[in-house]
Structure 1
Amino acid sequence: MSEAPHRDVLITGIGLVSSLGEGLDQHWAALKADGGPRPVVDRERFAPYPVHPLVQLDFDRQIPKRGDQRQMEAWQRIGTYAAGMALDNAGIKDRTDILSRTDMIVAAGGGERDIAVDSALLTDILAASDPGRLINERLSSDLRPTLFLAQLPNLLAGNISIVHKVTGSSRTFMGEESAGIDAVRTAHARVASGQSEICLVGGSYNAERLDMLLLFELGNYLWREDWLPVWQRLSRGGGLVTGSMGAFLVLESPAHAAQRGATPVARLDGVRAGRCRRGPGEATAIARRQFDELVSGLTGGERLAVFSGATGAQPATSEEQVFLTSLRHADNHIPIRAVGSIIGHGLEAQFPALVALAALAVSHGMLFAPLDDSGCEADGSAPIDRVLVTQWGHWRGEGMALVAPAG
C-alpha cells in the first residue's frame, strides 16, 4: 500500500544506537574510519553464532529513574533511550507543549523470555510424574502468569510516553521487518497528508538473547561461521547475523519545523511497503514497482545510492542481490551498501536504522567505503544526492524509502 504525499516530510531528529556507537557523530566516525568501516562482533558469548553487541550505554542519560529502568526489559531500555536521543536531536526534549501533540508509532517484537526460569522448568518437567500440574504450579510463582508476551510490544510506547512525556496518539506495529517498514510508512503518510504535524517513529531490538537465537536457528536462518559481509555469505549458504540496535526518527512538516526554528537533517520523499509469499520472482516484482514509483521523478543528473537491509538469509538475499545488481548495471552511478554487514540485522528496528543512516549520508553528501569485496558494492567515492533504502524481510515483507537532502 502507498499514499500520495501532499507536502514534504522532514527528518528533524534522529536517535541511533548500535554496535558502532551512540548518536550520529559516532556512527559517521565509525563508517568513515581509515581503512573503511570495521564491524564490532561478539564471537564468544553465543557461539557458534556471531552477534553485533550494543555499545555500552549510560541509560541514566535518557532514563533518569532507576525504577523505570528496572521494570523494562533490555529491548525496551534500548528503544526508550534511542527515542530520547531523537527528541534531543530534534530540540523538543522537555518541550511539553510540543510533546503533548507529538504522535508516536513504534515497531516492536515480543517480550523476552527468562532463560533461567525456562531452563529450570524444562529440566523439572523431565522428572515430573504430572507435568501439567507442575506447569500450573510454576505459573503462580516463577513464570509470568498475567502478561501474554505478545502484549509486551505496547510497553515500549508506554515507557517512552512515561519517561519522555510523548502523549499524542500512539500506535504499535508488531511483525518483524514489516513492522518497521509500515511504522515509517504510516508516520510519513500522516505527516504528508496533514493528519500529523510531528511524529516520533522507530523501533529497537536486543540481539543478545538466547530465546531469539533459538527461534532463528530452528528456522535455519542463522550464520554460524566467523563474520563475513552479507554478500560474501551467500556462496556458503547464507545466514543472518543479528545486531542490537535502537533507531527513532522525528518526522515533521516543513511549516511546523520552520515555526519552531528546527534545522532538518534530511527529507523523506516516500515510503513503500509490500508483502508476498516469496514465490520465485514475486519479491523482485514488488521491489521493481516500488523502485519505479519512488525514483521515476528523478532527473538523469541525480546521484543515487542504495542502502540495502539484506539479511543474508536465503533465498531472499540472493534474489535481492540480483535485483540490486540490475539497477547498478542499468546506471553505473548507483553504488550499493548492505548495511547489515556492519551493524547486523535488527528486525523491527532495521528499517528505521537504515533510514537514519541514509539521512546521515545525504546530510554529508557522501558514502562510506564498500563493506565487502564481493564486487556487488561499487566504490562510490563520488558525491551522492539521494539514498534509496531497501528492506526485504528474512521471511516476508518488502519495503523501500527515498531519502533526500533537506534543502
Structure 2
Amino acid sequence: MTETIWITGIGLVSSLGEGTEVHQAALGGAAPVVDADTFAPYPVHPLPALDLDRQIPKKGDQRQMEPWQRLGTYAAGLAIDHAGARDLVRDMHLIVAAGGGERDVALDEAVCAEIARLPPEEGAKLLNERLASGLRPTLFLAQLSNLLAGNISIVHGVTGSSRTFMGEESAAADAVRIAAARLGEGRGGIALVGGAYVAGRWDMLLLYSASGQLRRGDWVPLAQRQDAGGGLVTGTAAAFLVLETESHAKARGARGIARLTAVRSAAARRRGADTAEAAATRLAAGLPLAPGYAVVSGATGAAVPTAAEAAFLAGLRDSGPVQGKVVQSADLIGHPVEAAFPADIALGALAVAGGAAPQALVTGFGVWRGEALALVEAP
C-alpha cells in the first residue's frame, strides 16, 4: 500500500449504548449489560434502546428492514456523521460483513419436533422436504444478506462501489482488510466498512447451542468461563468505520482518530500443525509493535480458539516489546460475530485516541474459522 489509511469516523452501537463516548469510557472498566432471562439458559447482551428516527427517518424504511438491518443502517449513519462526511457519500465505497437473514422460527420448531422422532436417515430426508415446501419465497427475498448494504445506500445515499461478504468473523476481517487495501492502492479516497449482529435470535442460539459453544447459566467474565470449559455469550452490536486516505482526509480538513497501520487475515484449518495460534503468529511477523502497546482481544469465549489466542498473546509477550493493557471486548459487549472485528478496531482506535496506549493490537479468532490482526496507531 502506498497511501496511509486513517479512521475518521466511528459508528458503534452495543448493549452499552451508542456512540464513541460511552464506549471510550467503558475501556476503563464497565459493568456489562446482560439479559439472562429472555433466552434462558443462554445469556445474551441485548439490543439497546435507540431512537431510530435519528438515522432512519422514514417509518416505511424501518418497517421493511429486519432488526439487524436497522441496527447496521443506524450505526452506518453514526459513522458518516462522526466523520463529517455527509457530502461525500456519493463517492464513498461500501463494504459490509453480513450473516444470513432471520429465519421463520415457528417453522424451524415444527420441523425439529418432527425429525426428533425419526431415525437420522429419515430425518434428513424430511428436513429437505419441509424446508423446500415450508419456506415462503418472499421470506427468503427479505433475508438476502446484501440488503444491509442496499438499505445503507437507500437511507444514507452511499452510492460508491458496494460489496457484501459472508462468512462470520472472517467476513468482517476481510471486509476491513480489503477496504483498507483498495484505498491504500489508490482506488478511492474514502470507504465505509462494518457489520451488524443481533444476539436475541432463537435461530442463531439454536445453531451455536447445537455445536456446544454457548455459555449456559449466569454470565461470568471470560477468564472464569475458560476455567469451566469455555462458553460463548453473543452480543448485539453494530460497528462501522469511515476509512480515508491521509491525503483525502487532509484535503477536506478532517481529523484522523487513528491510523490503521495494518490489517491481516488468515483461515487456519485448525488441525495438525495448521493451528489458529500458528496462523496468528505468522500474521504478526513484522508488525512494528511499540513498548506498551495495548491489546483489544477478540477472544470469543469458545474454548479452543480462546485458548489459542491466549497462547498467541503469551508468545508475543515472551518474544516482543512490553505488552500493555489487554481489553477483552467480549467482557464488555459480548461476541457480535460479523460486527466483532470492526467493533474491536473501533475500541482500539478509541484507546489510542484517548492516550491509553501508543498502539492497539486488535485480534480476531473466529469461533469456527478465521484469524485476523489489525494494528491501530495515533495518526
The two structures have a TM-score, normalised by structure 2, of: 0.92
- Aligned position for 1:324: 313
Does 2:286 correspond to 1:313?
Answer: no
Cα deviation, 1:35-71, whole Å, max 9, x if unaligned, reads x311111100011111011211111110011110111
Query: How far off its partner does 1:125 sit?
Result: 9.3
Q: Match for 2:355: what amino acid? A: G
Q: Match for 2:98: what amino acid? A: A
Does 2:195 correspond to 1:203?
Answer: yes
Distance 1:232 1:149, change over 3 A: farther
- Aligned position for 1:391: 364
Q: Distance in 1 between matches of 2:114 and 2:43?
A: 31
Distance 1:404 1:255, change over 3 A: same
Q: Match for 1:343: what amino acid? A: I
SS at match of 1:294: coil
Q: Distance in 2 between matches of 1:30 and 1:101?
A: 34
Question: Among residues 168, 174, 180, which one is paired with 2:166 in the alignment?
Answer: 174
Paired residues for 1:143-222 under 5 Å: 143-146=135-138, 148=140, 152-222=144-214
Paired residues for 1:70-89 under 5 Å: 70-89=63-82
Q: Distance in 2 between matches of 1:145 and 1:45?
A: 30
- Aligned position for 2:337: 347
Greater alpha carbon shift after TM alignment, 281-290 vs 146-155: 146-155
Q: Does the Cα contact within 8 Å between 1:103 and 1:169 map onto a contact in 2?
A: yes
Q: Does the Cα contact within 8 Å between 2:40 and 2:217 map onto a contact in 1?
A: no
- Aligned position for 2:7: 11
Distance 1:10 1:126, change over 3 A: closer
Question: Among residues 215, 228, 234, which one is paired with 1:223 in the alignment?
Answer: 215
Paired residues for 1:250-269 under 5 Å: 250-269=242-261
Query: How far off its partner does 1:329 sit?
Result: 3.8
Q: CA RMSD in A?
A: 2.3
Q: Distance in 2 between matches of 1:119 and 1:277?
A: 33
Query: How far off its partner does 1:214 sit?
Result: 0.1
SS at match of 1:328: helix
- Aligned position for 1:244: 236
Q: Distance in 1 between matches of 2:131 and 2:308?
A: 47
Query: How far off its partner does 1:363 sit?
Result: 0.2
For structure 1, the 5+ residue unaligned runs are: 367-383
Q: Distance in 2 between matches of 1:17 and 1:77?
A: 12
Distance 1:136 1:273, change over 3 A: closer
Question: Among residues 27, 48, 62, which one is paired with 1:31 in the alignment?
Answer: 27
- Aligned position for 1:361: 351
Q: Match for 2:354: what amino acid? A: H
Q: Does the Cα contact within 8 Å between 2:97 and 2:194 map onto a contact in 1?
A: yes
Question: Among residues 47, 50, 58, which one is paired with 1:57 in the alignment?
Answer: 50
Cα deviation, 1:93-115, whole Å, max 9, x if unaligned, reads 2x1xx211110000000010132
For structure 2, the 5+ residue unaligned runs are: 118-125
- Aligned position for 1:45: 38
Query: How far off its partner does 1:364 sit?
Result: 0.4
Q: Match for 1:8: what amino acid? A: T
Distance 1:258 1:399, change over 3 A: same
Q: Distance in 2 between matches of 1:79 and 1:358?
A: 20
Q: Match for 1:170: what amino acid? A: S
- Aligned position for 2:123: none
Cα deviation, 1:134-165, whole Å, max 9, x if unaligned, reads 959964xxx42146479611100000000000
Q: Match for 1:316: what amino acid? A: P
Query: How far off its partner does 1:123 sit?
Result: 6.5
Query: How far off its partner does 1:92 sit?
Result: 1.4
- Aligned position for 2:85: 92
Q: Match for 2:73: what amino acid? A: T
Q: Distance in 2 between matches of 1:340 and 1:186?
A: 25
Percent identical among aligned pairs is 56
SS at match of 1:335: strand
Q: Distance in 2 between matches of 1:250 and 1:274?
A: 23
Q: Distance in 2 between matches of 1:38 and 1:225?
A: 18
Question: Among residues 16, 24, 29, which one is paired with 1:20 in the alignment?
Answer: 16
